[in-house]
Structure 1
Amino acid sequence: MVKDSDIFQLAPSARILTPDAAGAACLQHCLREQASFRSSPLSDTPLQEKTGNPQRVFCESSGSSGTPKLIRRSPASWRESFDINGKLFGISSRDTYAVLGHLGHSLSLFAAVEALHLGCGLAILSGQTPARQALALRQYGATVLYATPSQLRLVISADPSPFAMTKNVICGGGTLDSALRKELANCFPAAKMVEFFGASETSFISLSDDQTPPGSVGRPYPGVELRIGNGCAVGETGEIWVKSPYLFEGYEEGSSALTNWDGGFLSVGEMGQMDSDGYLYLRGRRSRMVTVADQNVFPEAIETVLLAQEGVEAAVVLALADPRRGHRIVAVVQGSAGEAELRRACRAALGDAAVPREIRRLAQMPLLPAGKPDLQRLQAMWMERSI
């Protein structure tokens, strides 16, 4: 006999306010019929029903730096956090969710299923310009907004006037730098600003808010146990291992050498450290770590420094092969910040090995459907000198 916790629920009060949005009809059908469904961020059809029992959700990874993989998870692994979020963020059936990305992106799909499980309204605003998304947020009275930093930056750039009705902005898929946080505080004056760190394989790992120290991604999400390396001391960098009820079952298609199990703990190759107060600090993905003059350098750490500088709207760091130094660090920046100031900031925060040797500018950073920078495209553009 199938237990309620083994399937997704469609609450009687749930309502999709944008029934013509891509994937909306399929999602509603699959939840009502307790059918499995598959999402894809690289397809014009972001959601499709998938045959087979018991019910499962299959999420295709965004493929930001490698071949996409198909992630399989049980309904319970998401449902465990729906009620937690409802209590943490004070959500009731009177609320209206909005997602800016399409349902092929696991962040948007998670938020959409959560909204319908909690009996809320749901506005799927993918495929619209940032200006039209801003207008729709007001028209639908969105009180809960799930988005990536890039999506948020585009919306408030298109319409910087306050969104007074929004009470929760829940951000994942990237880092909210200090400048963007200030802008969002002005544009969403009544909203609780929540940033979470996680992955498609792990779901939530940590949560941060306005009390979180600069540079940290917060403390473990409720129900999450973290371990750094194989018993690393406080402040020591190591691989981040996660144990929680929210972990995926495995890969339905594809694989990753970075994804490993150790008992009930899972690692997806992220490196970090924890302080004595339990706050988690990321260094970067093990796969992106490079050596520069025999020093380990994490491009993500450099990106965080660049994004914290005034006049930087987006930044991506690339590591190019260098026969003498191992790698040469370069950066692509969107914004008006001066190169000398950016280099000084990187040197002061991370040392000489982390200073970009060359900085090129783009008017608009190429993004994947998930709202993350397209690293492969940027690497190709750099080599082609089309930046």
Structure 2
Amino acid sequence: MNYYKLLQAQAVAYGNKPFLCMDARVFSYASFLSNVDALAEELEDFHIRGDVIIYSEDFIEEASLFFALQRIGARPLAAHAGVMDSLARRPTENIAGILTMRQGEVSWSPRDTTENVSSPEGCMGVFTSGSTGAPKVLYRTYASWAAFFPVQNAAFRIGEESRLYLHGSLGFTGNLNVFLAVLYRGATLVTTAAFQPKQVYHLLSESGVDVVYLVPNKLRLLVQAKEAPIQGIQSVFTGSQLLSEELLQSLRRSFPAAHIFLYYGASELNYITYRELEGEGFDERNLGRPFENVKLEVRDSLIYVTTPYRVSNVKCPFALGDLGTLDEKGNLRLLGRRSDVVNKGGYKISLAALKEKLEKMQGVEAAEVLGYEDSRRYEEAAAFLVLERSVERGPIEKRIRKELPAVERPKKLFYLNEIPINDRGKADKERLRSYIFNGS
């Protein structure tokens, strides 16, 4: 089984029901299948087989390539712009070629794969960064996600009549997963070519969207539009980053009828835990309890996960390198990554905890913290702050001296108009790191 066959089945079941809407383009289940079949016939001329990297800046073209390759017996490996840049510097081995599409024009760049290397089981793949920063392919069977779709759709309130908004490339595991979950449920997916917060906010209020999936940084930009509340949004779910209490309150004001969910997951493992954010006493590091059939354990503060929904060739229990604790109710509290610690003369500082303290200070709108080595090779922390309007730097620096122990105070402070975001919707740490060493 693969996702092209699922699309075929859903086209029979749902016919002319809207499946994929992007700006002015609307495809029903049946018309999108016809579009994919036409593309597959075109691809047959290239005699493509094996593992194929797919890339397009256009969501509909990207999705079409994904299904069309499965129809002709090839295996799509979805890539976003960041991965394509990395591949240009350090190509991945054992790939049949790269298939791109731009404004309807298909380009096939085969590669000389003389080695016949056996690859893991699966009908598709996505990229993640390995420990060296080189792109690494993760392969998935159909069942590794499809068997979980009923669970996640129920948890996040995605029903047959749902219209779900997301934004970004299918090269991001979360986007691809949610897109295929929508297909599985027979619902409708809504997206936009560009993410312009005011326009997206108006779209949500006018298009019947009732479920929103975005990473916290994009949610923050969205609610900063400060338009009238939208009553029609019934569910907002997010992950990949922690959600601040300030952002949660903004989401509640913008979407007063919405159930808001925070999840913890990983490309290698799928969804791990989740919780609905309700009531008082918000703890942004509490990521909830495990999903059905997912087991957690913590050894020496390191989180280990056992799940049947993992990628191929991953053995469980599996450690992602994240640190945490489990409370008496089984809730996971994330402490940060093992690598995100600065050791200052034997005193270990969690960069995530320091970021949290800075963001809670009065006058600070957003913060990011990175570790670095100074000229003496001592480990230090640098903080990047976005201040609220009319807030001066002097009082903030006085507050830092007053509220943080001397050993925890960042050695370098940078004031920005906004935290730069990469194409994954996360803080652009490469750009921030350049400020540390270039001074601007």
Report 1:19-30 matches (<5 A).
19=25, 22-28=58-64, 30=66
SS of alignment partner, residue 148 of structure 2: helix
Percent identity, please. 25
Do the aligned partners of residues 310 and 183 (structure 1) sit closer, same or farther apart at CA in structure 2, a change above 3 Å counting? farther
Alignment partner of 1:187 is 2:187: no
CA contact (8 A) 1:299 1:317 kept: yes
In 2, distance between residues paired with 1:48 and 1:105? Answer: 17
Higher relative contact order at CA 8 Å, sep ≥6: structure 1 or structure 2?
Answer: 1
Please tell me the residue identity of whatever aligns with 2:407: A
Deviations 1:267-317 (A, max 9, x none): 121111112221111121122223112022221222223334444333211
Which of 80, 83, 92 is the matching residue for 1:41?
Answer: 80
SS of alignment partner, residue 272 of structure 1: strand
TM-score w.r.t. length of structure 1: 0.82
In 2, distance between residues paired with 1:120 and 1:194? Answer: 19
Q: Which residue of 1 aligns with 2:324?
A: 272
CA contact (8 A) 2:78 2:170 kept: yes
Deviations 1:232-285 (A, max 9, x none): 5xxxxx2111111221124xxxxxxxxxx6x52111211111122211111211
Report 1:31-70 matches (<5 A).
31=67, 34-35=70-71, 36-42=75-81, 56-61=123-128, 66-70=133-137
| Structure 1: runs of 5 or more not aligned | 233-237, 251-260
Which of 1, 4, 19 is the matching residue for 1:15?
Answer: 19
CA contact (8 A) 1:99 1:123 kept: yes
CA RMSD of aligned residues (A): 3.3
SS of alignment partner, residue 175 of structure 2: helix
Which of 347, 352, 355 is the matching residue for 1:295?
Answer: 347
CA contact (8 A) 2:421 2:427 kept: yes
Which of 231, 244, 250 is the matching residue for 2:307?
Answer: 244
Which of 378, 384, 394 is the matching residue for 1:332?
Answer: 384
Say which structure is richer in helix.
2
Alignment partner of 1:321 is 2:388: no
Do the aligned partners of residues 377 and 129 (structure 1) sit closer, same or farther apart at CA in structure 2, a change above 3 Å counting? same
Q: Which residue of 1 aligns with 2:287?
A: 217
CA contact (8 A) 1:317 1:329 kept: yes
In 2, distance between residues paired with 1:87 and 1:97? Answer: 14
CA contact (8 A) 2:342 2:350 kept: yes
Aligned-residue offset at 1:187: 0.4
CA contact (8 A) 1:179 1:309 kept: no
CA contact (8 A) 2:286 2:331 kept: yes
How many residues of Structure 1 are paired with residues of Structure 2 in the alignment? 362
Aligned-residue offset at 1:165: 1.0
Aligned-residue offset at 1:221: 2.1
In 1, distance between residues paired with 2:191 and 2:382? Answer: 37
Deviations 1:202-225 (A, max 9, x none): 221111222585131111122210
Q: Which residue of 1 aligns with 2:239?
A: 172
In 2, distance between residues paired with 1:82 and 1:149? Answer: 22
Q: Which residue of 2 aligns with 1:304?
A: 356
Deviations 1:144-172 (A, max 9, x none): 11111100011111243212111110111
